[in-house]
Structure 1
Amino acid sequence: PLITGLIITGIIAGSSVLNFISPNALDRLNFLNEIALSIIAFSAGSELYLNELRSRVKSIKWMTISQLFITFIISSVVIYFAATSIPFMAEMPSSHKIAVAVLFGTIFVARSPSSAIAVINEMRANGPFTKTVMGVTVVKDVLVIILFAICFAIAKALINDESTGVLFFVLLIIELITSFALGYLLGKILQIPFLTKFDTQLKGIAVILIGYSVYLFTGFIKIKSLELFNHEFILEPLLICIIGSFVLTNYSKHRIEFSQTLKEISPIIYIVFFTLTGASLSVQTLISVFGIAVALFLLRLVIMFFGGVVGVYAANDNKKFALIAWMPYLTQAGVALGLATIISKEFPTWGHEFETIVIAIIVLNQLIGPPLFKWSLNIVKESHLRAKNKTQTVKRDAVIFGLENQSLALANQLKKNNWKAQIINTDKESENDNHEIDITHISSINYTSLKKLGLENTEAIILMLSDEDNYKITELIYENIGIKDVIVRLNKRENFEKFHKLGALIIEPATAMVSLLDHFVRSPNAASLLLGMDDDQDSMDVAIRNKDIHGMRLRDLRLPADVLVLSVKRKGQVLVSHGYTRMRLGDIITLVGSPTSLEELKFKFNT
């Protein structure tokens, strides 16, 4: 919807409606398109983080191969034979039709990682299907630019009636190898701004200038090679940028800062790019080709359906994915539009109509793709949105033994932090006038009573009774249930050791008060954080249950910029953690950061 809105805004501001942006202005502002294309390529490369693709390599490989080749080959063939129905292709010779069909096929392969990430975050999706989708999406965006570099060179040769013999393909291979080598060098150059202590805005400006310099350099090489050798040596700037971003993301320690910088500079870049793209469109042309765009949209949809089925069976994935495997890959955005813009500039006689058709297809994909993706996530049950009639009974569920003012205050505080709190009352005579807290009465403390409470699914149990009753409950839990977090309010200091042997977390009120006051004197900021007095910061313990995290080094975790790791606890022992500490299933990481980021990480690590 955002991209569609920007394109429509551009159409209104362009020469077709209000003429705020004239065709001459568009020519003078072409450098903004080149900057935007470099940032789009950087963003696509930064999403391809190899460590996060390990668990689904087989599925990602086969789905990528099937989607790439089936979509490209079938769409190219169908468009070639349907060329007479497309006005600007109808009178073309066969060689030109092949060139245009191949370019259409290349763009049909492109996908939108940003749209996929937005849907996944909105649906809080996680699981094998989601991981495959994300892996295929980012891998395809890299491969489609490589495919485009090859097809674009071949298309230019066919349309310009140039020879496509052995020498042509030798030169093409040399150009591609050179582009890869320059991409690797660019990956090293991109690290330079992040070695400095400049603020984020200056680093963002540096990234923009480096991206634009790639276009200036490749343009210079193209002109000079024509002057010196009477042949254009074509280096693909998009390919160089995406390889450079990939190198930085996977082989440097600046991955997180680079990604954060791109997130901050991308919105303004995209606003300019998509608005200018809309301004370049003709309303009359858009109306005339809209029927063709709908037909090609449906063609792409059907082809992707077959590609999805083949991919699922080739990877031997769960067959229930077969009929919906195509749905997540429908949406297109920046990369597809960027490629269409390049084609429009290179082939002015028919490129404008080509670009208009592609933009119309992208708009349709933007409108229909995300709802289909959401639907597929619901079908495979990998969406984790809050249920309407269910609370989170397994996680964030606390049971408090003892009815008194402190237990009521604790229950209310937990509820404010989205925990489900229940108080267990063991005193018949105590009255219950509180209708907001779930209060349950038990007549005696024994295993039968505890079993009826269903404590197996409870995350934390807080004991606020006498030491004798607290110990009885702790022992029953230790021997029969095994809840990891049993928190005991101690009444007598001499009972500390026997609770400690059962693994309970012990709070002795008098000592706790002295310790808290001491911390407020020596570390007021840390004490404020502990008590939740800072609305923008909080701390959280998160257990590692995601198999993809197992074995990863702490430095390789993709943590938000506002989150820090305070400690790592493994099998009851606190580790002296550093960047090379490898995560293990069951590790408990203590994090500090904004509440929103902490919730995202809890979901990522726990799933």
Structure 2
Amino acid sequence: MENYLQILIYLAGFIIIAVASNQISRFFLRARLPLITGFLVMGIIAGPYVLDLIPLEAIADLDFVNDIALAFIAFIVGAELYLRELRSRFRSIIAMTFAQLSITFILGSLALFLIAEYIPFMQKMNMESKIAVSLLAGTIFVALSPASTIAVIHEIRAKGPFTQTAIGVTMLTDFLVIILLTINITIGETLISGTSINLISIILLLFDLLIAFIIGYALSKILGFIIFLQTGTIVKALLILLAGYGIFSLSHFIREWSFLYLNLKIYIEPMIICIIGSFIITNYSKHRIEFLKILHDSRTAVYVIFFTLIGASISLGVLSTVWAIALALFVIRLAALVIAGFVGGSLGGDPARFNRIAWMPYVTQAGVSLGLTAAVAGEFAGWGTEFATVMIAVIVLNQLVGPPLFKWSINYAGEGHVRAITPELGIMHSALIFGLESQSLALARQLQEHNWNVKIVTLKSDIGDWKTSGINIHQISSLSMESMEELDASKAETIVTMLSDKENYQICEQAFENFGTKDIIVRLHDRKNFDRFHELGALIVEPSTAIVSLLDHFVRSPHATSLLLGMEENQDTIMLEVRNPNLHGMALRNLRMPHDIIVLSVTRGGQMIISHGYTRLRKNDIVTLVGSSESLENVRLRFEE
């Protein structure tokens, strides 16, 4: 009882430290360092080797926190393996994954074995133990960082074949590396114990993997049931974490039970089980969207706890003696990645300019690498902590150097889409508003807030105080074609007419016949002219009925109306054209979009389709979406060619 009470005290104290770590680590962003680095540093400072806020004995008692976090990280890896998004670059992804996995593993393992005499904890090991440690280190060298990869891609709005390959390779490699670790842990234990690898060992390993797949399928059903429950997101997140921890506990129990009663070590890798369960939910379940939302909303809290605890467990005494070794291993890993990148790119048929930079997306290591390191440290109690310290030193170097290299490589490949401070005309949306009055000025200001390039056009010879409005106002003498050409009307995406019906019709007719303007919006004065404008494909706003309809919607559906009108904070509504060929034929329910995005309509060939989850998109479809500004920007990038 006293032991459980002590664990609760340690846990409460650690949670307080983790909250502080989350806040203080944000200062690392100002230095353009990843948050994960901040969590690690805060863990080191709070750990037993600096301030001793987290005692050494507390780290051992909080080992279950590692299991919970590792399960969650495995869920994230499985969720990123979304097959529909990887199909177009499948050959390149497979070739690059094979090269990275094999070459990096072989060269990394060989390098560590050759410098074993310079690593303190390996100096007194026998040959078999050195081979075991080298295999485990080579495995960790292969591991990548899905979280860091996605963060860089989102930051610079990257999109294209090079980026797609990087995502696919990162996710697939991290899935395979966990299987590789399972195999090498079994081999390592066999080598260290002095027993030989026989047919029974191989059969047992295959049996372990088979059982892992079966339990993973069962876990997917459990996760689906949790998501189906009519309860809050926080409760579902806690139940998912509990399910992940249950898998780790089950794995430990099976291992101990099999050794005690069968004299065999049946080791079912819990991270593989969690990845398989998450993979099935993501690709073959109707619960995908909500599952991804729960992972997205919960990941920061889990990362803070996990990486802060990892930082606290780093032995600074050992770290000070292995920095030279860590730097050497870092350089060796870079060399292996360069070779693997060129080989993988050549096998995948990628352009030569991609092959020169093909290694850069795979330098970064973080969550999965640290998770595997923690798993090895837990399996081999004797030298596990010292091994983890060396590996963490290498991982920290990779985490510092990797993201800038990946960012540079994306820009070199021409797939970065960073928003310019002042976009050039033609890149940003543009609108011409005919008519100078209070309503047109208000509309212009609102469009400018959404980064539109707006011109107000007036026939008035004297605009008086309107000059100081801060809006681009153009005076013209007539609505002739010459005047329209001077206004660059052919480049306008939208034309809004707020003059008399006669003048409005003249503008609409010119735009219809000469410019093919995408959207023409007319403020109608006389209902009798409705059909004339409608024949030109104009969108018609009749003020007398528009206000009544708007009030009616506010009365019957106030929240929905506020959302559609963009009155909710940070919410907007946009129309996007499907230009990405990879989305052609994909059902709406299979689109991987942020959880706060709602599809309002799909327009095809000028006809609006009553859309549902099974509606399949076609290239050049117009999709109307509502959601947060950030999420809409992410979807915009996905729809672009």
TM-score category (smaller protein):
over 0.9
TM-score (norm 1): 0.95
CA shift at 1:363, angstroms? 1.0
Which deviates the most, 422-431 or 230-239?
422-431
2:458 is aligned with 1:425 = yes
Which deviates the most, 295-304 or 520-529?
520-529
Distance 1:406 1:366, change over 3 A: same
CA shift at 1:395, angstroms? 3.6
Distance in 1 (CA, whole Å) between partners of 2:222 and 2:564 is 42
Match of 2:605 in 1: 571
Match of 1:385 in 2: 418
CA shift at 1:291, angstroms? 0.8
Match of 2:529 in 1: 495
Aligned AA (2:548): V
Match of 2:631 in 1: 597
CA shift at 1:392, angstroms? 5.8
Distance 1:337 1:523, change over 3 A: closer
Distance 1:532 1:230, change over 3 A: closer
Aligned AA (2:294): T
Would you say the 8 A contact 1:394–1:458 is kept in 2?
A: no
**Equivalent residue pairs, number:** 607
Q: Decide which of 130, 134, 150 is 2:167's aligned counterpart.
A: 134
Distance 1:224 1:527, change over 3 A: closer
Distance in 2 (CA, whole Å) between partners of 1:486 and 1:521 is 29
Distance in 1 (CA, whole Å) between partners of 2:238 and 2:469 is 57
Query: Structure 1: 5+ residue runs without aligned partners?
Result: none
Distance 1:11 1:528, change over 3 A: closer
Distance 1:305 1:426, change over 3 A: farther
Q: 1:574-589 maps to which residues of 2 (within 5 A)?
A: 574-589=608-623
Q: 1:468-507 maps to which residues of 2 (within 5 A)?
A: 468-507=502-541
Match of 2:353 in 1: 320
Distance in 2 (CA, whole Å) between partners of 1:218 and 1:412 is 61
Any idea what SS the aligned residue of 2:553 has?
helix
Match of 1:406 in 2: 439
2:139 is aligned with 1:101 = no
Would you say the 8 A contact 1:395–1:458 is kept in 2?
A: no
- Percentage of identical aligned residues: 51
Match of 1:114 in 2: 147
Which deviates the most, 530-539 or 66-75?
530-539
1:229-279 superposed Cα distances (whole Å, 9 cap, x missing partner) = 211111111111111111111111111211221223332322222222222
2:125 is aligned with 1:92 = yes
CA shift at 1:561, angstroms? 2.4
Q: Decide which of 272, 278, 296 is 2:329's aligned counterpart.
A: 296
Would you say the 8 A contact 2:431–2:453 is kept in 1?
A: yes
Distance 1:455 1:140, change over 3 A: farther
Any idea what SS the aligned residue of 1:190 has?
helix
Q: What RMSD in Å do the two structures reach over aligned CA positions?
A: 2.0
1:188-209 superposed Cα distances (whole Å, 9 cap, x missing partner) = 1111111110111111111111
CA shift at 1:548, angstroms? 2.3
Distance 1:239 1:533, change over 3 A: closer
2:296 is aligned with 1:263 = yes
Distance in 2 (CA, whole Å) between partners of 1:403 and 1:357 is 69
Q: 1:116-515 maps to which residues of 2 (within 5 A)?
A: 116-391=149-424, 393-431=426-464, 433-434=467-468, 436-515=470-549
Any idea what SS the aligned residue of 2:581 has?
coil
Any idea what SS the aligned residue of 1:191 has?
helix
Aligned AA (1:396): H
Distance in 2 (CA, whole Å) between partners of 1:374 and 1:283 is 31
Which deviates the most, 541-550 or 427-436?
427-436
1:159-195 superposed Cα distances (whole Å, 9 cap, x missing partner) = 1111112222122111111111211111111111111
Q: Decide which of 12, 36, 55 is 2:69's aligned counterpart.
A: 36
CA shift at 1:429, angstroms? 4.9
Would you say the 8 A contact 2:104–2:336 is kept in 1?
A: yes
TM-score (norm 2): 0.90
Distance in 2 (CA, whole Å) between partners of 1:602 and 1:357 is 43
Would you say the 8 A contact 1:225–1:231 is kept in 2?
A: yes
Distance in 2 (CA, whole Å) between partners of 1:442 and 1:316 is 56
1:105-147 superposed Cα distances (whole Å, 9 cap, x missing partner) = 1111111111111111111211222111111111111111111
Aligned AA (1:60): I
CA shift at 1:374, angstroms? 1.4
Any idea what SS the aligned residue of 1:590 has?
strand
Query: Structure 2: 5+ residue runs without aligned partners?
Result: 1-33
Aligned AA (1:605): F
Distance 1:415 1:185, change over 3 A: same
Would you say the 8 A contact 2:467–2:473 is kept in 1?
A: no
Aligned AA (2:231): F
Aligned AA (1:581): T
Would you say the 8 A contact 1:564–1:591 is kept in 2?
A: yes
